[in-house]
Amino acid sequence: MKAKAVFYHAGCPVCVAAEDKVASAIDTSKYDVEIVHLGNDKSRIADAESAGVQSVPALLLDGVPFHINFGASLADVKGGA
Amino acid sequence: MKAKAVFYHAGCPVCVAAEDKVASAIDTSKYDVEIVHLGNDKSRIADAESAGVQSVPALLLDGVPFHINFGASLADVKGGA
């Protein structure tokens, strides 16, 4: 069974660069990669928060959050920035 | 031909976690992954710096630096921290 990878972003330029490179570099034979746009899908923000995501872009691998560069804080995403 | 991925770290706990998850999640059919310990191999610090790496752990994909969480600044690594 494959592990789960979730790439959280919010459409920011830093996010797009990270999605383009990092999310697409993930080995899909090991991970099911889901891309979540928190700006468009605000119902997922609580999930991201409880996983420890503090800013976007972030990559959750097996439940462990990795913040990649810095696009926006989760607070900014909530506020609609 | 495969693209080049370089994972820079300095042995810090944040680095080890990132290496364990992120570096090992890279699709090795797309990337040749090199792991560089800047604390042990200080001759590579200049390369990392010129690629735009400011802190470790960092992942360079096709020459684009992505800083993953924050373990130590490159200045700290230079200083032997």
DSSP symbol at B26? B
pLDDT of A47 above 90: yes
- Strands B31-37 and B64-73, by their bridges, are unpaired
B6-21 pLDDT tens trace:
999 999 999 999 999 9
A27 CB neighbours in chain B (<8 A) are 25-29
Q: Looking at this predicted complex, what is its ipTM?
A: 0.90
pLDDT of A33 above 60: yes
The pLDDT score that the predictor gives to residue B74 is 95
Q: pTM of the entire structure? A: 0.93
pLDDT of A66 above 80: yes
Contact residues, chain A to chain B, C-beta under 8 Å? 5, 17-18, 21-22, 25-31, 59, 61-62, 64, 66-69
Side chain identity, residue A56: V
Instruction: Please tell me which residue of chain A has the smallest CA distance to B67.
Output: A69
The pLDDT score that the predictor gives to residue A79 is 84
B67-78 pLDDT tens trace:
999 999 999 999
Nearest-by-Cβ selection for A26 from B27, B66, B69: B27
DSSP string, A2-16: -EEEEEEE-S-HHHH
Tally of residues, chain B = 81
CB-side exposure of A56: number of CA atoms within 13 Å? 29
Contact A64 B26 (CB under 8 A): no
- What percent of chain B has pLDDT above 70? 98
The pLDDT score that the predictor gives to residue A80 is 62
